[in-house]
Each structure stands twice: as C-alpha cells, then as structure tokens.
A and B are shown apart, each in its own frame.
Chain A
Amino acid sequence: GENVEQHPSTLSVQEGDSAVIKCTYSDSASNYFPWYKQELGKGPQLIIDIRSNVGEKKDQRIAVTLNKTAKHFSLHITETQPEDSAVYFCAVHPQGAQKLVFGQGTRLTINP
C-alpha cells in the first residue's frame, strides 16, 4: 500500500522567514496531494492541494510543488506569521482508493 513520509516532524522559524515541509510517497499511481493545517483543538483544514498533472500551485503566501518522477511534494509558506503556527499534514490519494494516506505531521512554530 501507499506509504507517506513527512519531514521535518518539528520546525521553528522566525516570523517573516519561509518554511518548507516535504513529503515523499511510494505509489507512482497516486494522483492527488492535499495539505491540511490543524490548529490546536480544531479539525484539519484544507489549505492547498495539487493534482498529478500539475507541477506547482500557489495561493498567496502558500505554494505546493510536486515532483512526480522523484515522488515527492513540498509545502512552501513565505513571509510566515504567528497565525501560521499549527500542525501541518500532507496526504496522498492513491489511485482507485477511497481513502487518503496521511503523513505523520509537522509542528510548525513561528517565533515573533
């Protein structure tokens, strides 16, 4: 089955700097890659997603890049703000499956 590895498990950056979180996956047929942000005491919130026919997608300060050949995708947050502090999960949707496979999560802390 699909295996997703997410790194780093914790990340601390200064406010205004950039943060990058990386995920690798094993099934080359996987075709959908969402990122979720989970704040303390809340449910996961979709922040950006990318499909296998696209290499990069941006939404204001957030971007995701996908390298299908290497089977990895990354979340980039620029000009970080304190409200970006949260746990971020990558996920992969294997083709033909009815479920997402999640990475283990990254706890991002933005230091003022």
Chain B
Amino acid sequence: DTEVTQTPKHLVMGMTNKKSLKCEQHMGHRAMYWYKQKAKKPPELMFVYSYEKLSINESVPSRFSPECPNSSLLNLHLHALQPEDSALYLCASSQLPTTAGNTIYFGEGSWLTVV
C-alpha cells in the first residue's frame, strides 16, 4: 500500500496565525519531502528529510518551519504567512533519498489559503 496521508485537506489562516500541516506514511520510507504547488505549475521542492534529518532546504523563507518527529511523521509549521503563500502543499516520501532514483509517492495535499 503506497499511501501518504496529509491533514488537514483544507486550511484557511490569517497572516498572524500559527498553524501546522501534518503528514504520515507507514511504508517504512526513510526520505520525506515537502513540495509547494501553485495553480497550473509543477510541484516545487521545499524540504527533504533523510533518515529524520533535514538534508535539503531550497532557500525557503523561515516562516515555513519543517519538523520530522520520527520516521513516519512530517510536519510543516506555518507562521506569519503572506497571501502569496496560498497554494497546495504536498507531502511525499520515498524508500530512500532519491540519489538512487527511488520512486517518490505523493499525498493528496493540503490546500492552504492565507487571508
């Protein structure tokens, strides 16, 4: 079963709010990812965690703060966001970090609207 579960599916937050997006996988994958996707565009990589350690930060603003509490969970903490941060946030996982071309599986995403 290749399943990545994301919650919430929809989130509306004000620019002064603090919220979190959550992601869970039980496939034993050791690499987890956060992507951001704007309308009619491909997903853009934000962060990569390999073996629960942050291995890639694609110069993402500090108002986005990732956290990997254990090998199955990935969070994205949101604070002081801007309206232009409104997008679909996708979590993904792969068996190993993709240096070996491992398949990446995506969740259904969390739709974020910043008002």
**A44 to chain B: which residues have CB within 8 Å?**
43, 90, 106
In the bound complex, how far is the Cα of B90 from the Cα of A80, in angstroms?
A: 28
From B59-67, B68-76, B96-104, the one touching the partner chain is B96-104
The 0/1 profile, CB within 8 Å of B marked 1, for residues 32-66 of chain A is 10101000001111100101000000000000000
Q: Answer whether residue A104 sits at the interface, using C-beta atoms and an 8 A cutoff.
A: yes
Query: B104 to A98, Cβ gap below 8 A?
Result: no
Query: B45 to A104, Cβ gap below 8 A?
Result: no
Query: B48 to A98, Cβ gap below 8 A?
Result: yes
Contact (A42, B56) CB under 8 Å given A32-B101, A99-B48, A104-B42:
no
In the bound complex, how far is the Cα of B108 from the Cα of A93, in angstroms?
A: 22
Query: A100 to B104, Cβ gap below 8 A?
Result: yes
The 0/1 profile, CB within 8 Å of B marked 1, for residues 91-102 of chain A is 001011111101
Query: B45 to A99, Cβ gap below 8 A?
Result: yes
Q: Give the A-B contact count at a CB cut-off of 8 A.
A: 57
The 0/1 profile, CB within 8 Å of A marked 1, for residues 71-115 of chain B is 000000000000000001010000001110101111111000000
**Neighbour of B55 across the interface among A34, A36, A98, A105, CB < 8 A:** A98
Query: B42 to A99, Cβ gap below 8 A?
Result: no
**Neighbour of B103 across the interface among A34, A102, A105, CB < 8 A:** A34
How distant is A104 from chain B, measured CB to nearest CB, in Å?
A: 6
In the bound complex, how far is the Cα of B37 from the Cα of A36, in angstroms?
A: 14
Interface size on A, residues (CB 8 A): 23
Q: Which residues of chain B have a CB within 8 Å of any CB of chain A?
A: 4, 6, 31, 40-43, 45, 48, 50, 55-56, 88, 90, 97-99, 101, 103-109
Q: Which residues of chain A have a CB within 8 Å of any CB of chain B?
A: 31-32, 34, 36, 42-46, 49, 51, 89, 93, 95-100, 102-105
Nearest first, the 6 closest Cβ-Cβ pairs linking A and B are: A32-B101, A102-B42, A43-B106, A43-B108, A43-B109, A44-B106
16 A-B contact pairs sorted by A residue (CB < 8 Å): A31-B101, A32-B98, A43-B88, A43-B106, A44-B90, A44-B106, A45-B106, A89-B42, A95-B99, A97-B98, A97-B99, A98-B48, A100-B104, A102-B42, A103-B42, A104-B41
